[in-house]
Amino acid sequence: MDDDTLLAEQLAYYRAGADEYDRPYVQYPELRRLLTAVDDLPVAGDVLELACGTGQWTPLLAARARSVTAVDAAPEALALARRRTTGADVRFVEADLFAWRPPRRYDTVFFAFWLSHVPPRRLPAFWDFVADALAPGGRAVFVDDGPAGAAYEDVLAGAPVPAAVRRLDDGSRHRIVKVFHDARTLTADLSARGWSARIRTVAGHYIGVAEPPEAGPPTPQPHPYP
Give tens-digit pLDDT for 66-124: 999 999 999 999 999 999 998 779 999 999 999 999 999 999 999 999 999 999 999 99
Whether residue 42 is contained in a domain is answered as yes
The domain of 74 spans 3-211
- Residue pLDDT, tens place only, 153-165: 999 998 899 999 9
Q: Do residues 163 and 13 make contact, with C-beta atoms less than 8 angstroms apart?
A: no
Whether residue 202 is contained in a domain is answered as yes
What's the burial of 103, exposed, middle or buried (CB within 10 Å: 0-12/13-18/19+)?
exposed
- Residue pLDDT, tens place only, 31-58: 988 999 899 999 999 999 999 999 999 9
The enclosing domain of 180 has a CATH number of 3.40.50.150
User: In whole angstroms, what is the distance from residue 210 CA to residue 191 CA?
Assistant: 10
- Total count of domains within the chain: 1
225 pLDDT band, cuts 50/70/90, is very low
Whether residue 29 is contained in a domain is answered as yes
Whether residue 225 is contained in a domain is answered as no
Whether residue 15 is contained in a domain is answered as yes
Whether residue 220 is contained in a domain is answered as no
Whole-prediction pTM value? 0.92
- Residue pLDDT, tens place only, 174-223: 999 999 999 999 999 999 999 999 999 998 999 999 999 985 444 444 44
Q: Do residues 37 and 91 make contact, with C-beta atoms less than 8 angstroms apart?
A: no
pLDDT at 215: 54
User: In whole angstroms, what is the distance from residue 127 CA to residue 51 CA?
Assistant: 15
Whether residue 226 is contained in a domain is answered as no
Whether residue 216 is contained in a domain is answered as no
